[in-house]
Amino acid sequence: MSSNLLVLGIESSCDETGVALVQARGQEVPVLLAHALHSQVEMHEAYGGVVPELASRDHIRRVLPLTERVMHESGLSIKQLDVVAYTRGPGLAGALLVGAGVACALGAALGKPVLGMHHLEGHLLSPFLSADPPEFPFVALLVSGGHTQLMQVDGVGHYAILGETIDDAAGEAFDKSAKLMGLGYPGGPALARIAEQGDPKAYKLPRPLLHSGNLDFSFAGLKTAVMVQAKKLMAARDDAAGGEARREGASGTREWADDNGGRDEAGTFETLPITIRANLAASTEAAIVEVLVKKSLAALKQTGLMRLVVAGGVGANRSLRAQLNAACSAMGVRVHYPELEFCSDNGAMIAMAAAMRLQSGEQKASTVYAFDVKPRWPLNQIQPR
């Protein structure tokens, strides 16, 4: 394999179709030449979550046009590619099959090798796409969708899990809490936006496993606590509305005026005043962020490392970044994040991870074009195809 590689990466594990091209020269950090991304958020929003069949069909529509766009923007011919990489897992089976099938068909047509990549390794190495890439070794906080893990990363392919979630991950806690609050899909970013208007100390919520003495996470109990608190707030609202109705002799459907003067039918959290909703969102975010920050600092102390990498969709959270930056600055620890556009799923992280694996000699691309996918694939069992 040449020391100068052009690697095309295709990501289709869930509800984003991503394609990107990177160039690797020698042992230098690979350079991103072009990338394109299509998000299905608007399509799935009507259903309140990802519909796997719709996701797969949309990937089929998008992947080839995105590939053509990337090649056009790079100014290179598709025949110049050296390797075609794709997300093999974990993810939605049907969605993964689209990317894998297109990548292997493209590789076969061009006579070029292919490489199936682990989705989480893509996130883990995504900070190398930034203008200030990290250096090995480092502690990594991986907070992506249904995954929350702390790892010691000594090099490409050399990952030791220090702690992980035992039930709901941080991303799930954000999304499920947002759904309880009627904030729509995708829930995490919506909750973070409304939290900026609230008081993070308004409601006392649990910090699961904060003092467990290990580096594992658990957020299922927090989601339940948010639900209980939301029900208390709605019950208090309904009691107040009932009292007002009795005083005024009103009858029929009870209504509640929000801070904007609108009137909604009682019975759902989104009918509460915006200040109350913002306070609960801020309190929820504060609980999640505190656990992530404290566990990350504990991992740094345990390993003695002075570099932290934060990757995955939750890594875009402003409060998390601000608190990690402050805490790590006080410890003299460097913190690295992917650029905001590469926090969510994207083709650039797959192309980058594949290029780095090939550079390191940890993996060789294959000209065997028969493929499979791994919807469930623990990172500690990683061995890309």
| Rounded Cα gap, residues 38 and 225, in angstroms | 35
Q: What is the rounded average pLDDT of the residues 2-12?
A: 90
- Structural domains of the chain, with CATH: 4-130+342-381 (3.30.420.40), 138-337 (3.30.420.40)
- pLDDT over 90 at 271, yes or no: no
pLDDT value of position 237: 83
Q: What percent of the chain has pLDDT over 70?
A: 91
Instruction: Tell me the per-residue pLDDT of 88-97, one tens digit each, with 9 for 90 and over.
Output: 999 999 999 9
Collapsing DSSP states into helix, strand and coil, what is residue 224? Answer: helix
- pLDDT over 70 at 257, yes or no: no
Comparing C-alpha atoms, which of 285, 287, 276, 288 is closest to residue 231? 276
Instruction: Tell me the per-residue pLDDT of 212-227, one tens digit each, with 9 for 90 and over.
Output: 999 999 999 999 999 9
Query: To the nearest whole number, what is the mean pLDDT of the chain?
Result: 90
- pLDDT over 80 at 267, yes or no: no
**φ, ψ for residue 97 (rounded to 5)?**
-65, -30
**Under 8 Å between Cβ of 165 and 147:** yes
**Under 8 Å between Cβ of 144 and 120:** yes
**φ, ψ for residue 184 (rounded to 5)?**
80, -165
**Under 8 Å between Cβ of 279 and 272:** no
**All residues at 6 or more sequence positions from 208 whose CB lies less than 8 Å from its CB, including other chains:** 217, 218, 219, 220, 221, 222, 291
Higher pLDDT, 246 or 379: 379
pLDDT value of position 37: 98
Instruction: Tell me the per-residue pLDDT of 129-177, one tens digit each, with 9 for 90 and over.
Output: 999 899 999 999 999 878 999 999 999 999 999 999 999 999 999 999 9
**Under 8 Å between Cβ of 165 and 220:** no
Residue 287 CA from chain centroid, whole number: 18
Higher pLDDT, 274 or 198: 198
Q: Where are the beta strands (DSSP E) in the chain?
A: 4-11, 16-25, 31-39, 83-89, 114-118, 138-144, 147-155, 158-164, 255-257, 263-265, 307-311, 334-336
Predicted TM-score (pTM) of the model is: 0.89
